[in-house]
Structure 1
């Protein structure tokens, strides 16, 4: 039972990592390439809604397939991957913030 819980946690963290990377990438890309932002608006009614729906889909897909990875998660592995997620959140936030500051100042 413990291993099943660890597997679910590990899969969810993998999904969150993929979603964070996607959100940072699409936020910057949509601002640099306006047809992407327009596509998000046209398909999802607003580019923020589109980013949210797509990131949720990526989270779900990665989380689902993460369940089938041949990894035996342990507390130590979960601690490491959670630490990676935390760093990616911090770096992603700084990247988006830095990008918009750069955009405002150029």
Structure 2
């Protein structure tokens, strides 16, 4: 197993998963049918989002790992830097959304 390639693949898969979680979370708050479907899938909408997030992460990591790419220290640094940025932006997006939602801003 090529650890450098796994780190890069995992970082990009995590970025895709972060975007998925932010989008599905906001979308489900505005779409009753989507939220109900998520509830019916596993019993609770957060559990369903977690299941889908895990599946997406594993699938994307596998696909990216087996795709042709060259790894280097520079690519690892870039992937991890982007992952940090996506993590911070995703956290901010969900925090701001629920803050606005709580105070009836939208």
Same fold (TM > 0.5): yes
The alignment covers a number of residue pairs equal to: 104
- Tell me the distance in 1 between the aligned counterparts of 2:41 and 2:52: 11
Please give the residue correspondences for 1:22-101 in structure 2 after superposition, counting only pairs within 5 Å. 22-101=20-99
Q: What SS does the aligned partner of 2:66 have?
A: coil
- The Cα shift of 1:35 comes to 1.0
- Tell me the distance in 1 between the aligned counterparts of 2:86 and 2:67: 21
Query: 1:47-82 deviations in whole A, cap 9, x for unaligned?
Result: 110000000000011001001222101111011111
Is residue 104 of structure 1 aligned with residue 102 of structure 2? yes
Corresponding residue for 1:8? 6
Runs of at least 4 residues off by over 2 Å? none
Unaligned runs of 5+ in 2: none
| TM-score, L = length of structure 1 | 0.92
| TM-score, L = length of structure 2 | 0.92
Unaligned runs of 5+ in 1: none
Q: What SS does the aligned partner of 1:58 have?
A: helix
Q: What SS does the aligned partner of 1:67 have?
A: helix
Instruction: State the superposition RMSD in angstroms.
Output: 1.1
- The Cα shift of 1:105 comes to 1.8
